[in-house]
Each structure stands twice: as structure tokens, then as C-alpha cells.
């Protein structure tokens, strides 16, 4: 198997000796494995990698907390197929100069693009092999969140992190920002003394006095997986090839919570082949992190809101770990193919959970997932194109189409296939899929061809996979997860709601987080404020330290006008920046004028502590404008 790097060198050598058309074909066939098209057309990037592609890059950066700016240089190694122009995506970057490998100054121009970014055009000389771009990030860099010491656990040191997915990497690195390309990278990052820097790469485990850290990622990754975090961090090992980074005050709790990660990795490998990234670490970020988790290679970024104290929310870790196959190894070629990342990952995540904790446990998670999907479909509209697996995001912020559909409908689709062919056949199929496309990108259409040739050909009648992929809603005959344990919860809830039983008689001693979630989500519309109070008195739900249960409880408190919960709700909204929690809570508050006014007051205080992806969503919900 010829590696991409060697392929690129052969491609470059071929450049010298034949016509343009031959050159292109030769380069493509040498650098692509099994003849897959190299670069899918991506409407969310200005880069034209089919002409000049970046094959690897080096970052030399300074992280300045006083000014909240990252500045320095990025050096791109080029894979030139045709033309003399390199186009990079940039968003709100100050581009200072561009030089090539021989120190020659190159002409460049930033051409205005759209609200998602601009195009940096660089004029190459005939023998330019690499370009060095000197730049600094802008004030509004959407990938970055800068936190003052007060916004951290330790309260003494500042913190910053990046979030690249979907198209935010261009706000901190001038780059061809499309998931259809892959790059290796190295980096040197200077941070204030006393802080540690970590990336989606080989990482340090200790601080150094100079605050200068070096990084290497020598497996090719898509640009949305470039990632950096800087703070007062410490490391604890969790096993031979896994560990956790957190602020010192969080490290013991985090080590306890994630103790099963080695076992998860082993289970994953047994299912679908080797973990190919060497080390698997997790960094626990401050609560302002806008997601639950982000699958940055070798270093999952995680919200502290999954640290419940009882390991009950760790399916999120199984999810991010599973991305080491689905997403990071085999990558969606464009954001329209997002379900190839997330649907496969949810399926894989649930298989890991089942392997570790059993079918009954996994099935509770599946029912909760189906409830999420039901709500999302209701919200989007049953006929909405956003309920197709294959999305049409052209001209839109890809973020807007990234809903539970990709995750949960994607999951049900794979489970449907599994149930038709049987688990052993399906597992073999998936394992081969990951292996044969490792470090490649995949479009939905390429996947359908692969599916036809490797799985559907084994069936007497070809099932209607297109109904799942190109049509709205759920096809008839879709799998329906069921949980006996949840049925018992439903019985208890109904007995209590009908007045047959007092709240303190509900037999909840054995309930896990998931049963509580199901209970709270299931409260019917007729439950009134007094009944909410009764539940709260019996179970102290307003005070729960479990973020998932808290979010579900606050949701019900808003719906039912249970104001006793509002002080805690306010504290939650001020502390937590995870969009999955914020969005439904602010949406519920926005449905009546009193709550809306209250929410606007809370948001005015909270907004500067949220990351741009959350701010963008909540601004819309509350009709917030900067002018007030």
C-alpha cells in the first residue's frame, strides 16, 4: 500500500514529465487508495485541493491571553496538480505576509466570501513547494473561547480552547477547511508560563517552565479535527494507552468517572478492529464547552457536565472513542454526509455500551435516543428535508442541519440493516468497511455502492435503503427500541400521577440516571405546580448534581410554571455553556412573555461566557442583538 506522502512525491515527480491531464490522473491514482475520488466537491470551502492541495502543515504559534489573540505562522507543504494558485479558507484572520520555501514574498489577496468565511488566494511561483503564512486571529474568532480565571474551577489561571467542527478551524488557522482533505501536522505553541498546551496530537504530560510545547500528528486528519487547549492542566493515567487531563481540582473525580475507558477501547477493538491512534486521552474542559464531547484525535474534548460521580453519563466517552473509527478514520466527505460520521458512531457507541454493561442498559439509552429523535422530527416537520440522512446544506451554516436525525435516524438505519442480515454478518461488514477505508473520506453515494457490493448482495431482495437516506421521517418497519425497566418507571409514574400513590412511595431506590431521565421526561402535561413540589420534596430534583436530570427537570419546571426551581435554573444557565442543554431551556422560556423577559436578563449575564456556537443559537431564540 502506497502511503499518501509517497504518493504525493511520485505525483510531484510525474509533474515534470507529462501533460496536465495525465499528471492529474497519475497523481490521483497514486495518492488514492482503491481508486476513490480524491476530493469531493464541498460547498463550504473555497479551497480547490484538486488543483493545489495542502498535504501537511506546521504551526508556530504564540497564545496571548492578555490580548486574546493567537499569532504566528502556518507553513503548508503543497501537493501541486495544476495551476499556480493556492486557495485557503480564512475567517476574520489578519494575514500579514506570505513567503515560500525559498524565502520569496508571494502575492496574496483575501477575497470576500460569505458569512462563513473568505478566500485567501496565494500566487505561487513555478517551483514553490511550500508557503509560510504569518497571521493573527481576530477579536471574533468563532473557534476560540477565552476564559478568565473566574470562569475556571481553580479560579487562578486563564483557560482557552478551540472548537473546529464544522467550519470554524478557518477562524484560527488559514487552511483548506474541508473534511474532504486530510493533512498531517506538527506544531510549536508558546503559552504563558504555568500553563500547559494540548493538541489533537502527541501530547506532553507535564508542564515546562518556558511554556513552549511541541506536537506531532503524523496520521492524516481532516482540518475540523485540528484542536488546541491551554490551561492549568494536569495528567492522570487511566491505563496503558489512556489518560485524562483536567484542572487539578477535577483530576481525581475525572479519573474515577472515566475508569472504564481502557475496557471500552478493548471492546471497540474486538468489534471493529485496532485502535489506530496510539494513545487515547480525554481532557475535561470548563463547563462553557459548547458540546458534550468532541472527538479530536488522541484527545477527546469533554464537558465536565458528564462527571456525575457515578459513571452514569460515560456513554458520551464511548461515543467520542467510537469516532476514532467512524469519523476520524473514515470521514464524511462533506457536511451533507454528516450522518456517516454520527449515525455510525451512535451505533458503535451503543455496541460498546452493550458489550460493557449489557443489552438492558444499552436499550435504555436507545429508547432515550428515540425520544430525542421523535422531538426533533416534530420540531423540524415530518416532511422536512432536514430529516433525510443525506443533507442539503448548500448556502447554509452546516451547524443548522446537524440535528438528532444524523445521530438517531442514522443509528436506527444501521440497526435495521443489522437486524436483517444478523449481527455476525453486519459486524464483519462494518469491520471491513473501517479497515478498507482507513484514512479516507466517504460520500453517501460511495457508501451506498459499497453497501450494495458488500452487504445487500447477500440478500434475496434488495431493501429500500434510499427511503432512509433520501426521504423524510422514518420508513415503515423501522426498529423500535423497548426497555422493560422503563416500562416499570412508566407504571410508577402513572400510579403517582393518578393520585393512587404518594411520591415518597415510588420505588426508585434502584433507579439509574436513565430511569430518572425517563421518569422526568415522561411527566404528563396535567402535572401541576403542587405535584412538582411534591416530587421535589421527595427527591430533591432541583438540587440534583446530575446535569442530564437537572436539564430535564428544569425543562418540566418551565413547562409547568414551577418557579421554585428558577434560582437553580439561573445558576445552571450561568454556569453551563453546553448547547444541547441551553437550546431547549431557552426555547421553553421564550414561549411566554414573563419567562422570556427573565431569560433575557439571565442571558445578558451569561452570554459573554458562552462559546460562539452556543451564542449563535441562543441569539436567534431570544432575538438578541448586540445593541440591546
Q: Which of 407, 411, 450, 562 is catalytic?
A: 407
Segment interacting with ligand BES, rule: CB under 6 A, options 60-68, 276-284, 315-323, 533-541? 315-323
Q: Does residue 177 touch ligand BES according to CB under 6 A?
A: no
Q: Which is nearer to Zn ion, 413 or 519 (CB)?
A: 413
Residue from the set 79, 295, 408, 418 that interacts with ligand BES by CB under 6 A: 295
Catalytic site includes residue 342? no
Residue 319 Cβ vs Zn ion, minimum distance, rounded to whole Å: 6
603 binds, among ligand BES, Zn ion, none (CB under 5 to 8 A by kind): none
Q: Does residue 609 touch ligand BES according to CB under 6 A?
A: no
Q: Which is nearer to ligand BES, 298 or 580 (CB)?
A: 580
Query: Which set of grid coordinates corresponds to residue 96?
Result: 500579514
166 binds, among ligand BES, Zn ion, none (CB under 5 to 8 A by kind): ligand BES
Residue from the set 74, 402, 558, 589 that interacts with ligand BES by CB under 6 A: 402
Q: Which is nearer to ligand BES, 24 or 580 (CB)?
A: 580
Residue from the set 40, 189, 191, 294 that interacts with ligand BES by CB under 6 A: 294
Q: Is 19 exposed, middle or buried (0-12, 13-18, 19+ CB in 10 A)?
A: exposed
Cα→Cα distances 616→142, 525, 625, 626, Å? 10, 30, 11, 12
DSSP SS3 for 31:
helix
Q: Which is nearer to Zn ion, 88 or 362 (CB)?
A: 362
d(CA 529, CA 104): 72
φ/ψ region of 447 (left if φ > 0, alpha if ψ in -120 to 50, else beta) reads alpha
Catalytic site includes residue 515? no
Per-residue burial over 413-449, b if 16 or more Cβ lie within 10 Å, else e, is bbbbbbeebeeeebbebbeebbeebbbbbbbbebbbe
User: Which DSSP string corresponds to 403-440?
Assistant: SHIIIIIHHHHHHHHHHHH-HHHHHHHHHHHHHHTTTE
DSSP SS3 for 52:
strand
Q: Does residue 130 touch ligand BES according to CB under 6 A?
A: no
Residue 18 Cβ vs Zn ion, minimum distance, rounded to whole Å: 43
d(CA 53, CA 345): 28
Residue 369 Cβ vs ligand BES, minimum distance, rounded to whole Å: 9
293 binds, among Zn ion, ligand BES, none (CB under 5 to 8 A by kind): ligand BES
Residue from the set 281, 320, 336, 408 that interacts with ligand BES by CB under 6 A: 320
Segment interacting with Zn ion, rule: CB under 5 A, options 343-351, 359-367, 459-467, 559-567? 343-351
Segment interacting with ligand BES, rule: CB under 6 A, options 38-46, 114-122, 178-186, 287-295? 287-295
Name every residue whose Cβ is closer than 8 Å to that of residue 480 and which is 6 or more positions away in sequence.
370
Contacts 24+ apart (CB under 8 A), 511-515: 512/312, 512/364, 513/308, 513/310, 513/312, 513/313, 513/546, 513/548, 513/549, 514/312, 514/361, 514/364, 514/365, 514/368, 514/485, 515/364, 515/485, 515/486, 515/489
Residue 38 Cβ vs ligand BES, minimum distance, rounded to whole Å: 24
**Closest residue to ligand BES: CB criterion:** 292
How far out from the chain centre does Cα 83 lie? 35
Segment interacting with ligand BES, rule: CB under 6 A, options 150-158, 286-294, 436-444, 448-456? 286-294
Query: Which set of grid coordinates corresponds to residue 328?
Result: 476520524
**What part of residues 341-360 is at the interface with ligand BES (CB under 6 A)?**
342
Tell me the per-residue interface mask from 325 to 344 with ligand BES, x by CB under 6 A, - otherwise: -----------------x--
Segment interacting with ligand BES, rule: CB under 6 A, options 5-13, 265-273, 316-324, 582-590? 316-324
Q: Are strands 242-246 and 280-284 parallel, antiparallel or unpaired?
A: parallel
Q: Is 377 exposed, middle or buried (0-12, 13-18, 19+ CB in 10 A)?
A: buried
d(CA 363, CA 253): 27
Nearest C-alpha neighbor of 158 from the set 187, 197, 188, 189: 197
64 backbone dihedrals φ, ψ, rounded to 5°? -105, 105
402 binds, among ligand BES, Zn ion, none (CB under 5 to 8 A by kind): ligand BES
Q: Which is nearer to ligand BES, 402 or 569 (CB)?
A: 402
Residue 166 Cβ vs ligand BES, minimum distance, rounded to whole Å: 5
Q: Which is nearer to ligand BES, 191 or 268 (CB)?
A: 268
Q: Across the strands, what pairs with 282? A: 244, 300
- Please report how the helices 410-421 and 359-380 are oriented relative to each other, as an axis angle in degrees rounded to 10: 130
Q: Does residue 291 touch ligand BES according to CB under 6 A?
A: yes
80 binds, among Zn ion, ligand BES, none (CB under 5 to 8 A by kind): none
Q: Does residue 165 touch ligand BES according to CB under 6 A?
A: yes
User: Which DSSP string corresponds to 64-116?
Assistant: ETTTTEEEEEEEEEEEE-SSSEEEEEESSEEEEEEEETTS-B--EEEEEEETT
Residue from the set 293, 297, 401, 481 that interacts with ligand BES by CB under 6 A: 293
Q: Which of 320, 349, 408, 440 is catalytic?
A: 320
Query: Which set of grid coordinates corresponds to residue 101?
Result: 520555501
Tell me the per-residue interface mask from 565 to 594 with ligand BES, x by CB under 6 A, - otherwise: ---------------x--------------
Q: State the sign of the Cα–Cα–Cα–Cα dihedral 281, 287, 292, 295.
A: negative
Q: Does residue 284 touch ligand BES according to CB under 6 A?
A: no
Q: Report the catalytic residues.
A: 320, 407
Positions in the binding site for ligand BES (CB under 6 A): 165-166, 291-295, 316, 319-320, 323, 342, 402, 407, 580
**Contacting positions for Zn ion (CB under 5 A):** 342, 345
Amino acid at each position: 500500500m502506497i502511503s499518501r506522502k509517497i504518493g504525493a512525491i511520485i505525483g510531484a515527480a510525474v509533474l515534470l514529465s507529462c501533460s496536465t491531464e495525465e499528471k492529474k490522473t497519475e497523481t490521483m491514482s497514486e495518492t488514492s487508495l482503491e481508486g476513490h475520488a480524491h476530493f469531493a466537491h464541498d460547498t463550504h470551502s473555497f479551497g480547490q485541493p484538486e488543483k493545489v492541495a495542502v498535504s501537511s502543515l506546521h504551526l508556530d504559534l504564540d497564545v496571548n491571553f492578555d490580548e486574546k489573540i493567537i499569532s504566528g505562522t502556518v507553513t503548508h507543504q503543497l501537493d501541486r496538480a495544476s495551476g499556480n494558485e493556492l486557495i485557503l479558507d480564512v475567517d476574520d484572520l489578519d494575514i500579514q505576509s506570505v513567503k515560500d520555501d525559498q524565502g520569496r514574498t508571494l502575492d496574496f489577496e483575501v477575497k470576500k466570501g460569505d458569512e462563513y468565511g473568505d478566500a485567501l488566494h496565494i500566487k505561487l511561483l513555478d517551483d514553490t513547494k511550500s508557503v509560510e503564512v504569518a497571521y493573527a486571529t481576530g477579536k471574533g474568532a468563532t473557534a476560540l473561547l477565552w476564559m478568565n480565571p473566574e470562569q475556571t474551577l481553580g479560579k487562578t489561571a486563564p483557560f482557552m480552547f478551540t472548537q473546529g467542527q464544522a467550519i470554524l478551524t478557518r477562524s484560527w488557522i488559514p487552511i483548506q477547511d474541508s473534511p474532504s482533505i486530510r493533512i498531517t501536522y506538527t506544531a510549536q505553541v508558546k503559552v504563558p508560563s504555568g500553563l500547559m498546551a494540548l493538541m489533537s496530537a502527541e501530547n506532553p504530560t507535564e508542564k515546562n517552565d518556558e511554556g513552549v510545547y511541541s506536537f506531532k500528528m503524523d496520521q492524516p486528519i481532516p482540518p475540523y479535527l485540528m484542536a488546541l487547549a491551554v490551561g492549568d492542566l494536569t495528567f492522570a493515567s487511566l491505563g496503558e494507552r489512556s489518560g485524562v487531563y483536567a484542572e487539578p481540582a477535577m483530576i481525581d473525580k475525572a479519573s474515577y468517572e472515566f475508569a472504564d475507558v481502557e475496557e471500552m477501547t478493548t471492546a471497540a477493538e474486538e468489534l471493529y478492529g485496532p485502535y489506530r491512534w496510539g494513545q487515547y486521552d480525554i481532557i475535561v474542559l470548563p463547563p462553557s464547552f459548547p458540546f458534550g464531547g468532541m472527538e479530536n484525535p488522541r484527545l477527546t474534548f469533554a464537558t465536565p457536565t458528564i462527571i456525575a460521580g457515578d459513571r452514569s453519563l460515560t456513554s458520551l466517552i464511548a461515543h467520542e472513542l467510537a469516532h476514532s473509527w467512524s469519523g476520524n478514520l473514515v470521514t464524511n466527505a462533506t457536511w451533507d454526509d454528516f450522518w456517516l460520521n454520527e449515525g455510525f458512531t451512535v451505533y458503535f457507541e451503543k455496541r460498546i455500551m452493550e458489550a460493557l454493561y449489557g443489552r438492558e442498559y444499552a436499550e435504555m439509552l436507545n429508547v432515550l435516543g428515540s425520544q430525542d429523535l421523535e422531538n426533533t422530527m416534530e420540531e423540524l416537520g415530518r416532511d422536512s428535508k432536514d430529516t433525510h440522512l443525506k443533507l442539503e446544506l448548500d448556502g447554509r451554516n452546516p451547524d443548522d442541519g446537524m440535528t438528532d436525525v444524523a445521530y438517531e435516524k442514522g443509528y436506527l438505519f444501521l440497526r435495521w440493516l443489522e437486524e436483517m442480515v444478523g449481527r455476525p454478518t453486519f459486524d464483519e461488514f462494518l469491520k471491513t468497511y473501517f479497515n478498507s477505508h482507513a484514512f479516507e473520506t466517504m460520500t453517501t453515494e460511495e457508501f451506498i455502492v459499497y453497501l450494495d457490493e458488500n452487504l445487500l448482495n447477500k440478500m434475496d431482495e434488495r431493501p429500500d435503503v434510499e427511503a432512509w437516506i433520501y426521504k423524510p421521517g422514518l420508513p415503515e418497519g423501522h426498529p423500535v427500541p423497548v426497555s422493560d425497566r422503563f416500562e416499570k418507571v412508566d407504571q410508577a409514574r402513572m400510579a403517582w400521577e393518578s393520585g393512587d400513590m404518594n411520591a415518597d412511595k415510588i420505588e426508585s431506590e434502584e433507579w439509574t440516571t436513565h430511569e430518572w431521565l425517563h421518569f422526568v421526561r415522561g411527566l404528563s402535561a396535567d402535572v401541576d405546580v403542587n405535584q412538582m413540589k411534591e416530587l421535589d420534596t421527595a427527591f430533591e430534583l432541583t438540587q440534583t448534581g446530575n446535569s442530564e436530570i437537572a436539564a430535564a427537570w428544569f425543562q418540566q419546571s418551565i413547562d409547568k410554571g414551577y418557579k421554585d426551581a428558577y434560582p437553580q435554573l439561573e445558576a445552571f444557565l450561568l454556569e453551563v455553556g453546553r448547547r444541547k442543554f441551553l437550546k431547549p431551556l431557552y426555547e421553553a422560556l421564550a414561549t411566554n412573555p414573563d419567562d422570556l423577559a427573565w431569560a433575557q436578563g439571565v442571558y445578558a449575564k451569561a452570554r459573554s461566557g458562552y462559546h460562539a456556537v452556543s451564542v449563535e443559537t441562543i441569539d436567534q431564540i431570544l432575538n438578541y442583538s448586540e445593541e440591546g
